[in-house]
Amino acid sequence: MLPIEKAWSLLQSADLICGEEEVTGALHRIAADITRDLGTRYPLVLSVMGGAICFAGQLLPLLRFPLDLDYIHATRYGDATSGGELTWRVEPRENVRGRDVLVLDDILDGGHTLAAIRERILSMGAASFQCAVLTEKDTGVAKPIRAEYVGLKLPNRYVFGCGMDCSGAWRNLPAIYAVKGM
């Protein structure tokens, strides 16, 4: 957790990457694409905690078709700024068996977490797996997974806002910022 003075200083010095209107437009585009592809299939939507909570909270009201909602919590970051070993805090439940599963996450960075989530869900008998991410970072490196639905492409910088945090702060921002010098 950042001290409040450092959190405010971080925001004041950050670069705005995607404004609130751009984020809103991306949400509406993703919702239209998901509705087109999954609107007749009654999918199980799994939100990846904690980063996807903002994305899911804004996207779900735009999906005007029947769906089931649940959550999972897998992380490679914890309190760190770079990924480590995958830790399951809340694993997928048996309700994935035979279902079309749509996983929502805030960012596709290296892709290792989402790839592990896909592997686990398919091994549990899901009929299909798709994922939607609010953002995808352009890392310049091949990723082990491709998201079917991507809202915004981001530069390879340390970003926060719209569910993404910086040392626990600023997940609640409606826009996306990059830390200066990172």
Per domain, the residue ranges of the chain are: 4-76+85-178
pLDDT tens by residue, 168-180: 999 999 999 999 8
* Rounded Cα gap, residues 94 and 111, in angstroms: 24
Instruction: Tell me whether strands 15-18 and 87-90 are parallel, antiparallel or unpaired.
Output: unpaired
* pLDDT above 60: residue 82: no
Share of the chain above pLDDT 70, in %: 95
Least confident residue range of 37-51, 80-94, 126-140: 80-94
pLDDT tens by residue, 98-138: 999 999 999 999 999 999 999 999 999 999 999 999 999 99
Higher per-residue pLDDT: 80 or 41: 41
Burial of 115 (0-12, 13-18, 19+ CB in 10 A): middle
Q: Span 17-34, mean pLDDT?
A: 98
User: Residue 3's pLDDT is what?
Assistant: 93
DSSP letter assigned to residue 14: P
Q: What size, in residues, is the chain?
A: 182
Write the class of the CATH domain 4-76+85-178: alpha beta
